[in-house]
Chains A and B, each alone.
Chain A
Amino acid sequence: MYKYLLISLLICFVASSIQAQDKQEKKPEVKTPNVKWWDGMTLQVDAASIASSTLLSKDIYSVEAGAQIELKHKYLPIVELGYASVNKTSLEDIRFKTSGFFGRVGLDFNLVKKKKDAKLSPNLFLLGLRLGMTNATYTINNMAITNDYWGAGQVLSESKLSPTKIWFELVFGIRVEVVKNIHMGWSLRNKHLLTTDKEGEISPWYIPGYGKNATSNWGFSYTVGYKF
């Protein structure tokens, strides 16, 4: 799965490079827009996680921000950092708590083609990849095991577990310049956990930065940023 993903991203990268090279070789007389190697840095916050924390979910609180640089108007390396805190009680009164920081590093590719004799568009169509990590501490309390037939019971609690969780995300989104240097955009993220739990072992219900603990997950972000 990961192999195919890396191969497909590599093919995208090579294909776009060859395409750009061909254009240059065949039509040297056409003026291409002046593409700068360094095209600025955008600092952004995720409004979706803040809105979701305050409006949709009482149990989950999450904030995140990122810094993305723009290279040759095509390659956009990014670092994202965030913090999440969850306090969830199940219908059977099992209590789960977690809080901690998470981080992601990755690269976006701008899919908008450069038009001949035109200004570079500040609006971007992005396809990218992220590698995320957290080792947030979590606790699960009040897990009751009954022994109906034989009598008596037990209440289990596990505390202060800090497993390192690593995942990757496939990211697809857009980013547009709404006012000079102010950018807004959304992205849809398909997340895949690389560190899975052993069957039957206590595992976190929620992983900061990843979401609910499952082998794959979906995420959405709506970013507002300023480009320097």
Chain B
Amino acid sequence: MKQNTYLLLIAILILGISCTSSEDCTEDRIAKMGVGFYTRALTDTLRKVYTTKAINLDTLSVRGLAANGTLIDSILYKSKTIQNIYLPLNKFETGSKFVLTFKTTKDTIEILHTNTDYYLSLECGCMKVHSIDTVLTTTNLIDSVKIINHKVNATNAEHVQIFIN
């Protein structure tokens, strides 16, 4: 009987340890689209072979452009040297526009995307994840854009490559 009491106490102890858990949300809940800046250089003129090279931009500022055409007050980036930026897509619209200002030249990129609810847990709730359909751009300084990863979730991945002239 004494032995049984010890076994019971050990079991309660194990149960107590296994029941302690944090109720804070520790997961990242913001899905941002990763953008990298690149340049293309013609390395073989005969065979028209281009090599892609990541570049650091001298000066860049980024702001969102609302659906009614007004610039959003808050500046997302204002940096002297930058290679990658992470942009928040609009969670309740299927298009997000950004104005990129390179020194004095401006370009606008428009991302067409779908938004899906993604449940994390009771502690963290729900977040929105996106799937990029199309990326449109003006071509003042930007040469072209390429989607390399359509799924935008909470990981810091690169989704779009912007090629600069």
Which chain A residues have a beta carbon within 8 Å of chain B's beta carbons?
88, 90-92, 94, 96, 140, 143-145, 147-150, 152, 154, 156, 174, 176, 186, 188, 200-203, 205, 218, 220, 222
* Dominant secondary structure of chain B at its interface with chain A: mixed
Contact yes or no, B119 A202, CB < 8 A: yes
CA distance in complex: A203, B123 (Å): 12
Q: Are B4 and A176 in contact (CB under 8 A)?
A: yes
Residues of B within 8 A of A140 (CB): 122
Nearest CB on A from B70, distance (A) = 12
Map CB proximity to A onto B19-41 as digits: 1 under 8 Å, 0 otherwise: 00001110000000000000000
The residues of B that contact A147 with a CB separation of less than 8 Å are 90-92
CA A145 – CA B93 in complex, angstroms?
A: 14
In the bound complex, residues from chain A placing their C-beta under 8 Å from that of B66 are: 150
- For B18, what are the chain A residues with a Cβ–Cβ distance below 8 Å? 218
B141 partner residues in chain A, CB cutoff 8 A: none
Q: When the two chains form their complex, are residues A149 and B88 in contact, meaning their CB atoms are under 8 A apart?
A: yes
Interface residues of chain B, those whose CB is within 8 Å of chain A, are 1, 4, 7-8, 11-12, 14-15, 18, 23-25, 64, 66, 72, 74, 76, 88, 90-93, 96, 116-119, 121-129
- Let me know if B14 and A188 touch, CB within 8 A: yes
* Number of residue pairs spanning A and B whose beta carbons lie under 8 angstroms apart: 78
Residues of B within 8 A of A145 (CB): 91, 117, 125-128
Query: Contact at B72–A149, with CB atoms within 8 Å?
Result: yes
Whether B93 and A150, one on each chain, are in contact in the complex, defined by CB atoms closer than 8 angstroms, is yes
Contact (Cβ within 8 A) B76 A186: no
Sample of 24 A–B contacts (CB below 8 Å): A90-B123, A91-B23, A92-B124, A96-B122, A143-B119, A145-B117, A145-B127, A147-B90, A147-B91, A147-B92, A149-B64, A149-B72, A149-B74, A150-B91, A152-B92, A176-B4, A186-B8, A188-B11, A200-B117, A200-B129, A205-B121, A205-B122, A220-B11, A220-B12
